[in-house]
Structures are given as C-alpha cells and as structure tokens.
Structure 1
C-alpha cells in the first residue's frame, strides 16, 4: 500500500498492518542509518502507549500488537500534516523564535507543519489548511484539542516515571466515518524526552551523541509498565 522512511503500510481491506523498519532518519531524510532492533522498539512503544491512550478515551488507530515489529491498525485517510505539541522551547522553535532550550512555554502550543521533505515541512496556520483544501477549520480545531489532550496524558505518564516530555509530534487521519483518529506512531522518534539533562529521544541521533538504541531501550522498559 505504501512505504515511507520508517514504516511499510500493508492493506488488509478494512484495516492495515504497519511494519516498523529499522531505519532512522533526520534532516528531512538527509541523514539515514539502519539500526538493529529499532523497528521492534518503536513498534512496541507505540503499541503500549496507544493502548494506554485508548483506555483513557483517546481514539487512535491501535488494534493489536503483532510482535516483534508490526501493529494491526484502523485504516485511515491520513492528513498530510505533522501536529506538534510543545510544552517547552526546543529544536526548530528556538531556531525560529529564539529563547533557551528547555525553557517552559506558558501553555501547551500546537503547531501544524505540512508533511513534505522537499519543502522542509513548512509551518501552516488553520487558514492555510482551509485555502489549500487540506481540511476544514472544524476538523483542524478537533485535531488541536485532541493533540493537547493526548500530549498531556503522555506528559503525565512520563512524569510519573521521573521524565520530562518537552514536545511531541502526532499525525492524524479520518476513519471510514470521517472521525478524527490518531495514527502513525508514538515513540522516541516523535518526541523529546529528558531526565536530569539526559536525552532519551532522536536528538541522540541528530546530534551524534552515541547509540540512540541504548536510550530507546530505556523508554521501552518504561512503557512495559503498560500491559498489552
């Protein structure tokens, strides 16, 4: 059905099967490596976190974890957007607006970016989404509300283990009935997660700070507190 940088999506009719690859990328795909067990770690972290979110009332794609690196999921018509929820200043936010890495924002901030490596994922406002025919203002508002709710649940989960969730990227789609549904993945690839100055996310890879899989394994062990 579709192969991206880090996943293969297999069509099962009314459902899909997501195969998580061992590939890791950064810089719109300019940096690329294959790391052993990366796919299985990200698949299991995604499965466990989405299972927890389902139990807390967050509608998402997750149906079943198929070890070691597959997830059976709802088929969605994905919006070509990355939806970022920021609790602290970091990454591209600091490059655009200044400030200090790790500085608190006064409230959760939602950013839309257009999902395009060729265009370097440009920022979009709700009016862009309407004018370009990506989605309606009503759907955009629903996505924003769901993103903040979901990110807050995840922030509280990691806080309970002594970690800080700085920001997180979501992707959303519409199910067969037109309902907004969380898709793609939730893993160290899609968040900034810190503890006492240590990095437990893809910034380890972006910044060449060592073996990212050692930190990803720590996140997986945290998530194994959630039963499947």
Structure 2
C-alpha cells in the first residue's frame, strides 16, 4: 500500500487505509482466518483475494437491486475502494436454516428449514464476546434510533431475498449470514464489511442423501480442510454464472 495512505483500522480479516478522497477508504483483504472470537487463527494463501473478489461481485449484484452499499470498485484482486462509513456496532445475523449457535441455544435440530427468516442481532464487542442483544437494550444504550433499526432489518430481509435466489442459481444453499451497516458522510445507512464465505454459511446443493457439504468458514471452524478449494469453487460458480 502507498505510504501516503495511512492505516486507519486493522481487523481480523481486513486492513482499512485512508484514500485521497476523505469520504472514501481503501480496504485490503488479509489471508488470515479466525474463529471463536479469534481464539483459533490460521493463514491461508489466496483467501483475501477470493473474499475480495466474491464480495465485489455480491455487492455489485446488491447495488443493481437498489441496496445501498459502501462498495465503489475493485482497486486490485485483494483490495477495494469503498465509501467511508461510521460502523454501527451491531452484527445482524439472518438465518434461513437452523445451524450453529441457534441449535446450541435452543431445541431446534440442525438443518431445520425455518418457517420464515430469523434475524438475530449481536452487540459488536469482542471484550463482551459479541452478545445477543434485544431491541430494548439497543434503545437503552442508544446505539441507533428505532427507525434506523427498522430500516436495517428491512434491508436485511431484502438482501436475503436477492442473495438466496442468486446462490440457488449456482447450486448453493444460503443457510445464514452476518451483515454490518454504517452511516456515510451524509448520514445514509449503507451495507458495509464484506459478503463472502467468511460471513455466509453456504452448502453445496449438488449433494445426494442430504449430506451437508459446507463451502464456507465452517471448513476452518470444524477442521474439515479444503478451505481455499471451497472458496475457489464459490468464486468459480459466481464467475461462470455472471
């Protein structure tokens, strides 16, 4: 990265740099993989590039469908230019199929198709281990207005409809995903972060006997191996379809 662009923020999977335009940022995707709030860590060569390319394609799809996002353009294969946003400290998780923490915290069996999408909201705070948070608690700690929360929930449901249909076209089941939003310089709410196998559960639909084949970060979480191969497969299917 050019020395004149200062590092603003470094997260588990990305570095954010300043841009010549103060209302934009440069986001560089790292090859690092983390799970269980960074208790488990590893590096996979090429992961950053794949997540960047996949995210760019998905953001472009969402923008075409009138979803406001921070994405502007790719700078190179592992770096994108985006609108600078003030990130809202909430993680919005939408579930179409029961899996992971939902099954650990309830009596719902893994793999159960939910009658309607379930939205869970978590406070984005590593020290508190990103706890599940209620609407009343969000209001209590004054994170954002009730109207803005409604807008985010509405956008999340729309994004789910677009992505579920898109992934089905490339034989992938969208089990669940995590979104983050933020305010741009004009106080508009934009979808931020990334849309990749790091924050989406994607199961291969080309399987018989209801075998679950994860093509996402569960390959790392659950020591299944083949993470780069899985991410490459998703990238290839997207490119073949688009």
1:174 to 156, 165, 183: 183
| Equivalent-residue separation in structure 2 for 1:162 and 1:35 (angstroms) | 25
CA displacement, residues 167-188 of structure 1 (integer Å, 9 cap, x when unaligned): 0100000111111110000000
Between the two proteins, the alignment pairs up a number of residues equal to 227
Q: Residue in 2 aligned with 1:8?
A: 15
| Equivalent-residue separation in structure 1 for 2:53 and 2:147 (angstroms) | 33
Measured on the aligned residues, the alpha-carbon RMSD in Å equals: 1.1
- Relative to the length of structure 2, the TM-score reads 0.91
- 1:226 CA displacement: 6.4
| Equivalent-residue separation in structure 1 for 2:188 and 2:226 (angstroms) | 39
- 1:54 CA displacement: 0.4
| Unpaired segments ≥5 residues, structure 2 | 1-7
1:125 to 134, 140, 143: 134
| Equivalent-residue separation in structure 1 for 2:160 and 2:18 (angstroms) | 29
* 8 Å CA contact 2:24, 2:81 repeated in 1: yes
- Relative to the length of structure 1, the TM-score reads 0.97
* 8 Å CA contact 2:26, 2:79 repeated in 1: yes
- 1:223 CA displacement: 2.0
Q: Residue in 1 aligned with 2:148?
A: 139
* 8 Å CA contact 1:8, 1:20 repeated in 2: yes
| Equivalent-residue separation in structure 1 for 2:107 and 2:30 (angstroms) | 35
* 8 Å CA contact 1:114, 1:123 repeated in 2: yes
Q: 1:66-77 alignment to 2 at 5 Å?
A: 66-77=75-86
Q: Residue in 1 aligned with 2:225?
A: 210
CA displacement, residues 86-141 of structure 1 (integer Å, 9 cap, x when unaligned): 10111111111122111011101111101122211100111111111111111111
SS at match of 1:9: strand
| Equivalent-residue separation in structure 2 for 1:60 and 1:27 (angstroms) | 27
- 1:211 CA displacement: 2.2
* 8 Å CA contact 1:52, 1:226 repeated in 2: no
* 8 Å CA contact 2:139, 2:145 repeated in 1: yes
Q: Residue in 2 aligned with 1:159?
A: 168
CA displacement, residues 164-219 of structure 1 (integer Å, 9 cap, x when unaligned): 10001000001111111100000000011002321100001000001211101011
CA displacement, residues 55-76 of structure 1 (integer Å, 9 cap, x when unaligned): 1111101101122200100111
